[in-house]
Structure 1
Amino acid sequence: MPRFTFNAIEPATGRETRGVLEAASVEAVTASLKARGLAPLAVMPERTGPVLRPARRRSWPGFGRVLNFKELAVFTRQLGTLVRAGMPLLRSLEVLARQERNPRFRAVIEGLAENIRGGGTLSDGLQQHPRLFDRLYLNMVKAGEAGGVLEVVLERLAGFLEKSVRVRGRIKAAMTYPLIIVLVAGGIVAALMVFVVPKFESIFAGTLKGQPLPALTQAVIGVSNFLTQHVLLAVGLVAAMWFAVQLIARTAAGTRLLHGLQLKLPVLGDLYLKTAIARFTRTLGTLLASGVPILEALRITQDTGGNARVSAAIGTVHDRVKSGDGVAGPLRATAIFPDMVPSMIEVGEETGALPDMLTRIADGYDEEVDNAVDALTSLIEPLMIVVMAVMVGTIVIALFLPIVRIIQTLG
């Protein structure tokens, strides 16, 4: 049976406990620790990396973010576990600060603890770090404090963050292989154009004695000459285009334009829209389930929409709801969301189960995104290989045609 090392804490005393257990899975170890009255902080198989707690990323002092999205999810999950186990919030933060390896985030946790020690609330401390804890995080914690269910809200928030991490990781992993293929193909083509083609050009010039080269060969040599003679110009053009896009994206009008084009892209546009819908419905559902008022929830969701056009549509819904309308009607009027979304929301409003219905919509669209990513990956991989073969093959054929003419001349 597998062996697992664990790190847990006794809620009553705050004493940390470490040890080894034999169990069928991580879940079994967690259940065993809870049955013994312990709050598990980390569980990992022996001789492998951590399962519940990921390894910290090292960075030079003063550089990089305080922590990444995944680490924030882990912190939230651990804090919720300790508070649910009955440990006071202040002691829970002190425990998490002691075991935190990231010095910058440890200072943040210690600041939260110091704020509570001085009579403040957790949300008061979170407000001091707006770049780390966004409005979604802050308002959910405020709602949990107001309703006396902070541990429930923290665990719900941890689940929301963990789900977001999984979706982001899946999309990133799916796009890694095609990106590698593009980089390799680009490197091979650039090497051929810069180092190989010029040598063949000199051979052809000395052998064919001024005879015209095939059109394909002339085109390839022309591109090669441009790259070798104007490499700085080529790099500068690419850099200028990239900076131009970045500058456009910094303006409100430019962001709306780029995000509108993003949704109109073939294949990818539908994927972007489904991702935005899943984020919108999950965020709104999580906020409403935590007790955040509908208008505040819509305002927060608008800020975290991820797409300017979707955020503008949510803003329109917010204004209509403020005037006394429901959510479904204004959402349908935006003509951005598929009709199924406002229809399901309408059912949720009629039955009084809007948060649950929003979560179901998000789960459905997350599954559609997963399926779309799988299909896109299976399509892109062979397509990239074909494109790479065509590019390299074109260069080889362009160099081979004059050689055939030379052989015919010599014959």
Structure 2
Amino acid sequence: MPDFTYIARDTSGAKIEGSMTANSEADVISRLTSDSLFPVSVTDAAASTKKSLEMNFEFGGKPNDQKMATFYSQLASLLENGVPLIRSLNLLKEQAKNKKLKEALNDVVARVEDGEELSDCFRRHDSIFSDMAINMSRAGAEGGFLEDALDRVGTFTEQQADLKAKTVGAMIYPMILASMGSLIVSVLVIFFVPKFAMVFESLRAEGELPAVTEWLLWFSDTLRNYGLIIVLVVGVLFAVIRSQLATEAGKMFVDRVKLKIPLVGPILLSLAVARFCRVLGTLMKNGVPILRGLEISREAAGNRVLSLAIEKAGENVTSGETLSKPLEKSGHFPIEVTEMISVAEESNTLDTVLITISDQLEKQTMRRLDVAVKLIEPFMLLIMAIVVLFVVVALLLPIMKMGQTVG
């Protein structure tokens, strides 16, 4: 188990610092609050440098998912240990290092003191607090299980943050390869190739320059002479296309295309289905009705094509149908997923099974992602090698021809 360092305050407000071995940050927070201590900060000792860098990076912007997961878990732990809501929010506001989160909590505290519901206060700052946090806090307040609802939001947010970090981390090396490859080719074509143009001038005048070399020289001349114009044209086209894709129809088109990309599409679909299942399962486990849960979870899917299928499924559920049938008809949900949902509906264990499905899909997705990255790396190296080989061959062919002529 990892070691954590912590800063906390006791009931008199005195500052206490220490360390302990625990399974997670949430475990440390729970143990501190059970000892009547109010956590101010909890840091993984092995990753303290990394955490510090993350904090500095996000200081001017909104807090990342990991920070929000910690916030939800801390708030849940404080409430569970009998600390009043306003006191809990004030404690978390004092320890918040992110400017936007501190400002949001300052407003939330003021409104809660005036009698406003916590969920309504969260909704006023929906760029900070997720839809799931807003709706779960409402359901928890109405059902008398607010601390449990917030704890589940914290767990879910942390899981999504970990999954996102793994996905981004897996793509870093391929992106570095692509960037380095583009840089190498650009340097070769713009600075190296023109030096050979004068050497090949005689062959070019006689029309004996190989076609591949002729094309390379033309490409090099075009980039050097019209590079700025090309960049401007590409920039304008990019801006126009981006504005079109920003429309609802454009976003739907992009989401549809994403799901059809070879190798990548199935991974994106699995992630979207996993998010939907986890959110819906968590909401239902906390007493949120299935129709309301579908409204919230369809947005959490993160893909408009899938969201539309979930919306249609909700309409069918309203008419008295089961959830599994319309999801299966949409063609976007794996057959094993819809079968598990069907069995769960019959056994009245839908909430538990949905979370199980999400766990399984996330594990499968990470395995697929690992395989995809392992395939992408050699593929990109091969592409880079082919491009560099093309440039080298295009330059060597006329040199060999000139050598034969001299010979």
In the superposition, the TM-score normalised over structure 2's length comes to 0.92
Code of the aligned partner of 1:337: F
What's 2:98 paired with? 102
2:273 pairs with 1:274: no
What is the distance in 2 between the residues matched to 1:209 and 1:53?
63
> Structure 1 residue 126: deviation in Å?
1.1
Q: Aligned match of 2:301 in 268, 280, 305?
A: 305
Q: Aligned match of 1:154 in 136, 150, 161?
A: 150
Code of the aligned partner of 1:384: M
What's 1:295 paired with? 291
What's 1:20 paired with? 18
Q: Which moved more, 1:308-317 or 1:229-238?
A: 229-238
Q: What does 1:223-234 correspond to in 2, within 5 Å? A: 223-234=219-230
Aligned residues: 406
Indicate if the aligned counterparts of 2:6 and 2:18 stay in contact, CA closer than 8 A.
yes
Residues 368 and 396 of structure 1: CA distance in aligned 2, closer, same or farther (over 3 Å): same
> Structure 1 residue 203: deviation in Å?
1.6
Q: Which moved more, 1:216-225 or 1:254-263?
A: 254-263
Q: What does 1:115-154 correspond to in 2, within 5 Å? A: 115-154=111-150
Q: Which moved more, 1:358-367 or 1:226-235?
A: 226-235
> Structure 1 residue 368: deviation in Å?
1.0
> Structure 1 residue 39: deviation in Å?
5.0
Q: What does 1:25-174 correspond to in 2, within 5 Å? A: 33=32, 36-44=35-43, 49=48, 55-58=54-57, 65-174=61-170
Q: Residue by residue, what CA displacement relative to the aligned partner does 1:61-103 show, whole Å, maximum 9, x if unpaired? A: xxx6332222222211221121122211111111111111222
Residues 239 and 171 of structure 1: CA distance in aligned 2, closer, same or farther (over 3 Å): same
What's 1:198 paired with? 194
> Structure 1 residue 30: deviation in Å?
6.0
> Structure 1 residue 254: deviation in Å?
2.2
What is the distance in 2 between the residues matched to 1:22 and 1:130?
35
What's 1:387 paired with? 383
In the superposition, the TM-score normalised over structure 1's length comes to 0.91
Indicate if the aligned counterparts of 1:45 and 1:51 stay in contact, CA closer than 8 A.
no
- Match of 2:199, SS state, is helix
Q: Residue by residue, what CA displacement relative to the aligned partner does 1:311-341 show, whole Å, maximum 9, x if unpaired? A: 1101100111111212112211212211111
Indicate if the aligned counterparts of 1:42 and 1:52 stay in contact, CA closer than 8 A.
no
What's 2:367 paired with? 371
2:1 pairs with 1:6: no
What's 1:315 paired with? 311
Code of the aligned partner of 1:226: T
- Match of 2:6, SS state, is strand
What is the distance in 2 between the residues matched to 1:26 and 1:339?
35
Indicate if the aligned counterparts of 1:208 and 1:406 stay in contact, CA closer than 8 A.
no
Instruction: List gaps (5 residues or longer) in structure 1.
Output: none
Code of the aligned partner of 1:6: Y
> Root-mean-square deviation (CA), in Å?
2.6
What is the distance in 2 between the residues matched to 1:206 and 1:247?
49
Residues 38 and 375 of structure 1: CA distance in aligned 2, closer, same or farther (over 3 Å): same
Q: Which moved more, 1:32-41 or 1:136-145?
A: 32-41
- Match of 2:268, SS state, is helix
> Structure 1 residue 307: deviation in Å?
1.2
Q: Aligned match of 1:263 in 259, 267, 282?
A: 259
Code of the aligned partner of 2:56: R
Instruction: List gaps (5 residues or longer) in structure 2.
Output: none
